[in-house]
Amino acid sequence: MTTIINVPHSLEDKSFELVLDQVAPLPLDEKIIVDTRHARWASPYGLTALLALAQSRAERPVLYVPEAENVSTYWSRMDFFKHAAELYELQGRVRSTKAAESSVLLEVTSISKSDDVHSVVDKIQQRAQDALVKNLNLDAKITMRFTMALSEVCQNIVEHAGRGGWVAVQTYTWRVRLGGRKVVVIAVADPGIGFRQSLESAPGFQRKERWDDGQALEETVMRGASRFRDPGRGQGLAGVRRFVGNWDGKLSIRSGTARIAVLPKGDWDEDEPLVEDLAYFPGAQVQITIPERVA
Amino acid sequence: MINHIDVSSMLRKSVCELYSNLVTRPTGAAVRCEIEQELDRIGDRALTVIDFSHVGLLDFSCADEIVAKLLLQYVSIDAPRREVYFVFRGISESHLEAIEAVLERHQLALVTQHADGESRLIGIIGLEERRAWEIISQLGAGASADVADAIGLTTAAAEVMLDTLWRRRLLIRYDNGYVAVGSATVPTEPMRLDA
Using alpha carbons, select from A35, A16, A34, A46 the residue that is nearest to residue A168. Answer: A46
Query: Which range has the worst mean pLDDT, B4-13, B69-78, B89-98?
Result: B69-78
pLDDT of the residue at A230: 77
* Pairwise CA distance, residues B4 & B88, whole Å: 10
Residues of A whose CB is below 8 A from B60 = 148, 152, 235-236, 238-239
pLDDT in tens, B97-144: 999 999 999 999 999 998 888 899 999 999 999 999 999 999 888 999
pLDDT of the residue at B80: 63
Contact A118 B27 (CB under 8 A): yes
**Is the CB of A141 inside 8 Å of chain B's CB atoms?**
yes
pLDDT of the residue at A210: 86
Residues of B whose CB is below 8 A from A121 = 21, 23, 57
* Pairwise CA distance, residues B69 & B73, whole Å: 7
pLDDT in tens, A262-286: 998 877 788 899 999 999 999 999 9
Contacts of residue B192, Cβ cutoff 8 Å, sequence gap at least 6: B1
Give φ, ψ of A145 to 5 degrees.
Answer: -65, -40
* Pairwise CA distance, residues A256 & A293, whole Å: 33
B19: confidence class by pLDDT, cuts 50, 70, 90: confident
**Predicted model pTM:** 0.87
Distance from CA of A228 to the nearest CA of B (A): 13
Mutate to test the interface with B, among A118, A152, A156, A246 (most CBs of B within 10 A): A118
* Pairwise CA distance, residues A101 & A70, whole Å: 12
Contact A155 B98 (CB under 8 A): no
B186: confidence class by pLDDT, cuts 50, 70, 90: very low
Cα dist from A286 to A199, A254, B182, whole Å: 17, 6, 42
* Pairwise CA distance, residues A232 & B28, whole Å: 13
Q: In chain B, what's the furthest Cα-to-Cα distance?
A: 55
pLDDT of the residue at B195: 38
Using alpha carbons, select from B104, B61, B95 the residue that is nearest to residue A234. Answer: B61
Q: Does residue B189 register a pLDDT over 50? A: no
Nearest beta carbon to residue B64 from set A114, A147, A232: A232
Residues of B whose CB is below 8 A from A236 = 59-61
User: How many beta carbons lie within 10 A of that of residue A82, not counting itself?
Assistant: 14
B190: confidence class by pLDDT, cuts 50, 70, 90: very low
Q: Strands, E, within chain A: which ranges?
A: 2-6, 10-11, 31-35, 41-42, 62-64, 89-91, 104-111, 165-174, 181-190, 250-256, 258-262, 274-275, 281-291
Any bridge partners for residue A4, and if so which?
A33
Reduced to 3 states (helix: H, G, I; strand: E, B; else coil), residue A233 is: coil
* Pairwise CA distance, residues B98 & B100, whole Å: 6
Question: What is the 3 state secondary structure string of B35-54?
Answer: HHHHHHCCCCEEEEEEECCC
Cα dist from A182 to B60, B65, B138, whole Å: 28, 36, 50
**Is the CB of A68 inside 8 Å of chain B's CB atoms?**
no
Average pLDDT of chain A, as a whole number: 90
Pairing of strands A31-35, A2-6: parallel
Encode chain A (295 residues) as per-residue pLDDT tens digits. Answer: 899 999 999 999 999 999 999 999 999 999 999 999 999 999 999 999 999 999 999 999 999 999 999 999 999 999 999 999 999 999 999 887 766 656 788 999 999 999 999 999 988 987 888 888 888 888 888 888 999 999 999 998 988 888 999 999 999 887 666 667 889 999 999 999 999 998 888 887 888 788 999 999 999 998 888 777 777 787 888 889 999 999 999 999 999 999 999 998 877 788 899 999 999 999 999 999 999 887 6
* Pairwise CA distance, residues A107 & A79, whole Å: 6
